[in-house]
Amino acid sequence: MRSRVASSASTVQMMDAGDPAGRAAWLRRELDRHAHAYYVLDAPTVPDAEYDSLFRELEAIERAHPALAMPESPTQRVGAAPSTAFASVAHRVPMLSLNNAFSEDEVVAFDRRAREALGSEGPIAYAVEPKFDGLAVSLTYAGGRLVTGSTRGDGETGEDVTANLRTLQAIPLTIDTALPLLEVRGEVLMRRRDFLRMNEAQRARGEREFVNPRNAAAGSLRQLDPAVTAARRLWFYAYGVVAGEDVPLPADRHSALMDWLAVLRFPVTPDRATVCGVDGLLAYFREIGARRSALPYDIDGVVYKVDAIADQARIGFVSRAPRFALAHKFPAEEALTELLGIDVQVGRTGALTPVARLKPVFVGGVTVTNATLHNEDEVRRKDVRVGDTVVVRRAGDVIPEVARSLPERRPPGTVEFTLPATCPVCGSAVARAEGEAISRCTGALSCAAQRKQALLHFASRRAMDIEGLGEKLVDQLVDRLVDDAPAPIAADAVGESPASPPPPPLVRTPADLYRLTAAQIGGLERMADKSANNLVAAIDASRRPSLGRFIFALGIRNVGETTARDLARHFGTLDALMGAAEPALLQVPDVGPVVAQSIATFFAQPHNREVIDALLAGGVQPQAVAVVAPTTDATGEVAGRTFVLTGTLPSLTRDEARALIEAAGGKVSGSVSKKTHHVVAGEEAGSKLEKARALGVDVIDEAGLRALLARAAGTD
């Protein structure tokens, strides 16, 4: 498409000094008509130079008579100043989503349900359209003027992007209708040609390119400065209409409403159609599928809508989607490429994920260079090897994956993939629990990949309970985003070694917390002196945790609060626990082989031990617990016995009930087994109660528990 750049030398023509208002109105109508022909119909009615001179004439009149410069004027599309945030807009009628179908069977079932709902024997007439791959917006016209444009948001509330939508030449600012209120819904997208051009320009300026037209459209629309949106050439296709209350629409079929929108100068796609019955649906799907790559815009399927509006209402809705419409999606796109290597990434929780490094390949609208291989078993099952030719698949916005390899194209000398035995980030042992697909780094306390997670867990309320140490602060402490010192550029980002190594993070392990000073914390963003002092005080106050809390805080895999408390009670001291081998760990009630192994592996990692030593050296003193011998209390009904709490008790919280039981020497477990002595069930008790009944375990209520406790305490 040609651009509308005004040429500099042109005279203002035909200025009618007598009736500037009338002349301005005429110019606006003419300019709207030509712009519609040019942008929407792609069939220019006048040469560019003539359009430009009319445009400048209107500008001149509006300059001379500012009162005539109304917001609907074509000169005013980019008029709004940048804002700092989008306001929210509550949708008058929710913006629903569509149910998806991926197979012909699902389409057949959709059509059958629709016919059943209508009690119709004959085939249904459907309106069929491409499923645009952009983002949904709603345009509200009051008295024929565009007053609000919003994004879909969560369907109930969207963002007010009126100023940005006004810059889209495809969207009329005024419409010729007597309807007092009209909402037009549709998709904002970027056509492929414009996308390629924009990326070319981005590249030339050395700026970031967008991965696909959809992201480009979303990024361009959600701009706080409308001038940026204006420069991006976004497009709009209308696909729906919502009338105001008690306002009849001028047609009784969806397809006719789309025709009417076209007359009102809204862009509606020429690729829509009406078809008859399920055969018509499937034929359209195939026809559009065959033309997909030749379309000027990206689509990810087609949409079927029962054409008769009255029938739509009769068929109705299921929760968040209409039952009278269906999105028939194209299958995921696939492409062949070469597997250059398999990297292993360590996630926040220590999970190791093999990631395929690929020779760049264009698939599903983006260039893919990495794809997930999920886990070790998946790599083996698919028998994917470095050097293989592999099939890469990408559907919608999901992470691309390696679907399979082509063994017939395998070069000689490839080897089967195995995960490393030690963590690529911290060098701790990698462990994989029996029956689990995921392998994990066991250096929970010391691994840089798990640092933030470990610190958050350590400080959490049920662990060391360090008030004020939340996610934002942990981010800063670890990333060291100190106000006056910009974050160091990583050496590998610039491809050479820095002269001196970057400063270490303020906090690497939980032990570092106990060395922090108020001055260091006060230097962080949004940290007033008072908050810094409070945090130091909170850290200080956490120095004497119960042994159970301390063990829980270490973040040992499979060791939750209850197990941590059991371990504390069983071993009495941290030393005793750290020195326990697996057989000794198995003596603890409720500790099975998986838990025992993960505890033993955790303490076997020198890095973890170093952190624990540093914690103790930093003044943390877990409070030893008197080891409870499995003896009896006055009645022997509570001490040494195992209780499970389930449901809501009438007056006690879970924590209170637990504290009472534990104070009497009993133990609270999270799951019911044959070894459970009593299940204390409250309201809405679920599967634990069922299990107790199945195993014949004694079930009591809160009153029953109180009676046991009273007898045990000798107060009964």
* Catalytic residue list: 131
Smallest distance from the beta carbon of 150 to ligand IVH, in angstroms?
Answer: 13
Smallest distance from the beta carbon of 94 to ligand IVH, in angstroms?
Answer: 9
Give the separation between CA 466 and CA 535, rounded to whole angstroms: 8
Smallest distance from the beta carbon of 429 to ligand IVH, in angstroms?
Answer: 46
Residue 75 vs 164, nearer CB to ligand IVH: 164
Residue 34 vs 329, nearer CB to ligand IVH: 329
The CA-atom distances, in angstroms, between 46 and each of 37, 61, 171 are 9, 21, 20
Under the binding rule (CB under 6 A), the answer on residue 101 touching ligand IVH is no
The number of angstroms, rounded, from the C-alpha of 145 to the middle of its chain's C-alpha atoms is 35
Contacts of ligand IVH in 321-380 (CB under 6 A): 322, 325, 327
Alpha helix segments (H runs only) across 132-182: 162-165
Residue 128 vs 278, nearer CB to ligand IVH: 128
Contacts of ligand IVH in 529-588 (CB under 6 A): none
> For residues 10 and 49, is the Cβ–Cβ distance under 8 A?
yes
Residue 136 vs 660, nearer CB to ligand IVH: 136
Minimal CB distance to ligand IVH: which residue?
136
- DSSP letters for 225-274: SHHHHHTT--EEEEEEEEEPTT---S-SBHHHHHHHHHHTT----TT-EE
Under the binding rule (CB under 6 A), the answer on residue 159 touching ligand IVH is no
Under the binding rule (CB under 6 A), the answer on residue 261 touching ligand IVH is no
Smallest distance from the beta carbon of 415 to ligand IVH, in angstroms?
Answer: 45
For 592, residues 6+ apart whose C-beta sits below 8 A from its C-beta are 586
Under the binding rule (CB under 6 A), the answer on residue 161 touching ligand IVH is no
Window of 258-266, 319-327, 516-524, 590-598 that interacts with ligand IVH by CB under 6 A: 319-327
Window of 52-60, 94-102, 108-116, 366-374 that interacts with ligand IVH by CB under 6 A: 94-102
Smallest distance from the beta carbon of 95 to ligand IVH, in angstroms?
Answer: 7
Phi/psi at 616 (nearest 5 deg)?
A: -65, -40
Strands (E), 33-156: 88-90, 100-101, 125-132, 135-142, 145-151
Give the separation between CA 154 and CA 149, rounded to whole angstroms: 15
Applying CB under 6 A, which of residues 23, 91, 131, 328 lies at the interface with ligand IVH?
Answer: 131
Pairing mode of beta strands 317-318, 321-322 = antiparallel
Window of 46-54, 129-137, 308-316, 689-697 that interacts with ligand IVH by CB under 6 A: 129-137
Window of 28-36, 128-136, 161-169, 453-461 that interacts with ligand IVH by CB under 6 A: 128-136
Under the binding rule (CB under 6 A), the answer on residue 303 touching ligand IVH is yes
Closest of 353, 346, 533 to residue 448, by C-alpha: 346
> For residues 469 and 455, is the Cβ–Cβ distance under 8 A?
yes
Handedness of CA 622, 627, 633, 639 (dihedral sign): positive
Give the separation between CA 715 and CA 701, rounded to whole angstroms: 19
Under the binding rule (CB under 6 A), the answer on residue 235 touching ligand IVH is no
Applying CB under 6 A, which of residues 132, 210, 330, 552 lies at the interface with ligand IVH?
Answer: 132
Applying CB under 6 A, which of residues 152, 191, 569, 607 lies at the interface with ligand IVH?
Answer: 152
Under the binding rule (CB under 6 A), the answer on residue 240 touching ligand IVH is yes
For 512, residues 6+ apart whose C-beta sits below 8 A from its C-beta are 506, 614
Under the binding rule (CB under 6 A), the answer on residue 307 touching ligand IVH is no
Residue 28 vs 185, nearer CB to ligand IVH: 185
Residue 239 vs 571, nearer CB to ligand IVH: 239
Please count the other Cβ atoms lying within 10 Å of the Cβ belonging to residue 425. Answer: 19
Applying CB under 6 A, which of residues 62, 129, 311, 637 lies at the interface with ligand IVH?
Answer: 129
Residue 114 vs 356, nearer CB to ligand IVH: 114
Specify the 3-state DSSP secondary structure of 327: strand
Give the separation between CA 167 and CA 169, rounded to whole angstroms: 6
Contacts of ligand IVH in 18-77 (CB under 6 A): none
Under the binding rule (CB under 6 A), the answer on residue 527 touching ligand IVH is no
Window of 101-109, 131-139, 361-369, 417-425 that interacts with ligand IVH by CB under 6 A: 131-139
Alpha helix segments (H runs only) across 119-224: 162-165, 192-204, 213-221
For ligand IVH, how many residues bind (rule: CB under 6 A)?
15
Is residue 188 within a helix (H) or strand (E), and if so which, with residue range? Answer: strand 181-189
Closest of 647, 664, 656 to residue 699, by C-alpha: 647
- In the complex, the residues that contact ligand IVH under the rule CB under 6 A are 96-98, 129, 131-132, 136, 152, 187, 239-240, 303, 322, 325, 327
